[in-house]
A and B are shown apart, each in its own frame.
Chain A
Amino acid sequence: MTMNKILIVAKRDYIESVRTKAFLFGMIAAPILFGSGFIGIAVLRGKPDIAERRIAVVDRSGEAASTVIATVVQKNEHDLIDKDSGKQTMPRYRFETVAPDTANPEAQRLDLSRRVRPDDLYGFIEIGSNALRPDSTGEKNPDNGLSWYSNDTGVAGTRAWLSGPLNDGIRRVRMAKAGVDPARFDDLLGSVSIRTMNLVTKDEKTGQIHPAEKRNEAAAVVPLAMVMMLFMISMVSAAPMLNAIAEDKLQRVHEMLLASASPFDLIAGKVLAAVGRSLTSSVLYVGAALFTLNSMAMIGVVQLDLIPWFMVYLIAEITMLSAMAAALGASCGSPQDAQSLAMVLFAPVVIPIMMVSVIMERPNGALGEVMSFIPPFTPMIMMLRQGLPGGVPGWQPWVGLVGMTCGVIAICWAASRIFRVGILMQGKPPSPAELVKWAVRG
């Protein structure tokens, strides 16, 4: 390994890539593309579907329909208009009561289902015969509860919204049957607000106890945003390398370079250039994000002590991905082969993204902790867990860092051995077993 040669290769790769239109376009387009998804969701939430929805109710208990419908309608009227904006934020629900067909309930369900398909009805609710007095068979028996039939995917939230007033309605019927004065229903069923608080902490040095503060829900968005940024920069910085190496191999540029520099020097130089590219993007993105938050007086939601960790994780992630990209690119027979290997390359960032919602639910659960210590996943998962309320035990990021450093070295070492063999090999791309053999035996 010669540091000077690594720097010469890195300088060339960095300058040749950052001055391309593709890099500038990618740097500007990536946040727009990624951001437009979130903006799109926000816009769609701001413009909900408010078309009227008709719902049929079949009451097999014979006692609940009118109260349940009245309760839902009352709640619907309450929630229909946003008090601040004065705009309608949800659809108005209209109900029709359908007398139950006790002789052939399946035929009745089929008839109602047919009415749902041409959009006559949005859906229909069937109140089970035992809904007011469930028997010991519990939820397994549909007669003990309510059934909601519709084409609603669940994303629209209708079922979730209906759940509250429907249960409320059933409870009102039960209380009336139990002899409770209807004037007390609202008091008895009224809900209370739940404040989300951080934990109480104690300063170990001074012994002072810091009372819990109300949690800023926006603060949980920051680590998620940082993980998304890590994902975005990784994709933008490492993805072109796979194709570039495969293209250079096709153009046969490496043999002459291998006479002047070792495979490790070449791969290290290329990785360094990729890290440089990613730092260029990230400094710009982080700077822009901080500037924007500051101008919106929201800088307080950012945990500034996470930014150094973000940079460390970014460097580690890019190093691992670009070393893998160099090895896979060198193994490809053509740039087309490289395309098909892209999913393998991006597994270390795609898998954590798929796990984000699970880990946000239980940041310190077994899954989160185990994934934090698997080197390819450490940057994104540990970053997320560190930023979420409660954080992680102090030792975990450091142990993760040690594991990640070992992982980076092992991946770079194996990648340089694969690169050395693969870059001069033509024809059929190697099998995964051959790649392992090259990495082990060189």
Chain B
Amino acid sequence: MHAIDLRDVTKTFGDLTAVDDLSLTVREGAIHGFIGPNGSGKTTTMRMIVGIFHPDAGSVEVFGRQTNGIRTGLIGYLPEERGLYRKMIVRTLLEFHGELRGGRNVPQQVSYWLDRLGLAAFADKRIDTLSKGMTQKVQFVAAVIPEPRLIILDEPFTGLDPVSAESIREAILEMRRKGTTVVLSTHDMGTAEALCDSILMIFKGRKVLDGTLDEIQAQYGNDTIRLSAEGGAEALTGLPEIEQVRDLGQVQEVRMTLGADPQELLRALIARTAVRSFSVTKPSLHDIFVRIAGEDSRQ
């Protein structure tokens, strides 16, 4: 059984089609990443899975049952637009969220997660006395109590310092180990590559990529060269084998023109300048993202 099964889902707001005939399945117990530019339809899709929005067409199934707007304690949700009752005490607020999702042993779970994320000392503080990072961690706890079978995290790492981000990342992996299915959206391609078992890219409301990282990269072949040469990106100008250069500073990521031979490129480069490193590789997720979304923005 799939954790999520979306079939031919469409959602419009007035004249805007936010999600257009989208179908996808999410395997149970996996971490599934949603990527896509701002306004591509990720949040709308997540809101439909959670039941906040109803699709105009198509069906949304969670663990084999159509949601139809019925809220279930099986799903935890951390929205991108964070907000908590600012005058409430941390523990009281978390217990309220846990009870609202029909949880059992909520006080014990609250204590566990406060401890787990280093918030125990702030349990009796008001939300408006916490730092932004701590408030985000409290909201994360509110999303995972009671222990959900599916958790939807919309940009969970945005605004977090590296230490807080690491503690959230570890918590996500721990939940996956316990069998929770995780869907997260992110603009950080490195996070998506490192954390997600499968990735979905939505662009203009439509699915443009879906699969594991290997499957996605395989669609683009080995047309990418990572190299380091004397003179940096300037040394690469005018070479006919190169379609596009992404300058990372010390390293350049090069996309070759269709049918170009990497050996020819290497010979041409050596003739021009001193080459320190040269490796043929698959395109990164970042590069694939830019190829899809960037092409459109250039047009």
Contacts and interface: CB of A to CB of B under 8 A. Distances in A.
Interface of A: 2, 4-5, 8-9, 12, 16, 248, 251-262, 265, 424
Contact of B71 (A12, A262, A424): A262
Given A16-B88, A262-B69, A255 B101 contact: no
Interface in B53-91: 69-71, 73, 75-79, 81-88
Looking at chain A's contact residues, the main secondary structure is helix
Nearest to A442: B54
Interface residues on B, range: 20 to 34
Looking at chain B's contact residues, the main secondary structure is loop
B83 A259 contact: no
Interface stretch (B92-100, B213-221, B238-246, B284-292): B92-100
B101 A260 contact: yes
Contact of A255 (B81, B96, B97, B100): B81
Given A8-B96, A424-B52, A253 B71 contact: no
A12 B88 CA distance: 10
A416 to B, nearest CB: 12
Interface string B134-160: 000001001100000000100000000
23 contacts: A5-B100, A248-B83, A251-B84, A251-B86, A252-B83, A253-B84, A253-B85, A255-B47, A255-B52, A256-B78, A256-B79, A257-B97, A257-B100, A258-B52, A259-B50, A259-B75, A259-B76, A259-B79, A260-B71, A260-B97, A260-B100, A260-B101, A265-B71
Given A251-B83, A253-B83, A253-B84, A259 B142 contact: no
Given A248-B85, A255-B79, A8 B99 contact: yes
A256 B79 CA distance: 6
Interface centre among B52, B87, B152 (most CB of A within 10 A): B52
A16 B51 contact: no
Contacts, number: 67
A252 B82 contact: yes
Interface in B151-195: 152
B85 A16 contact: yes
Contacts of B99: 8
Interface string B115-150: 000000000000000000000000100110000000
Given A248-B83, A252-B83, A253-B85, 12 more contacts: A5-B71, A16-B87, A251-B85, A252-B82, A253-B84, A254-B83, A256-B77, A256-B79, A256-B84, A260-B71, A260-B73, A260-B77
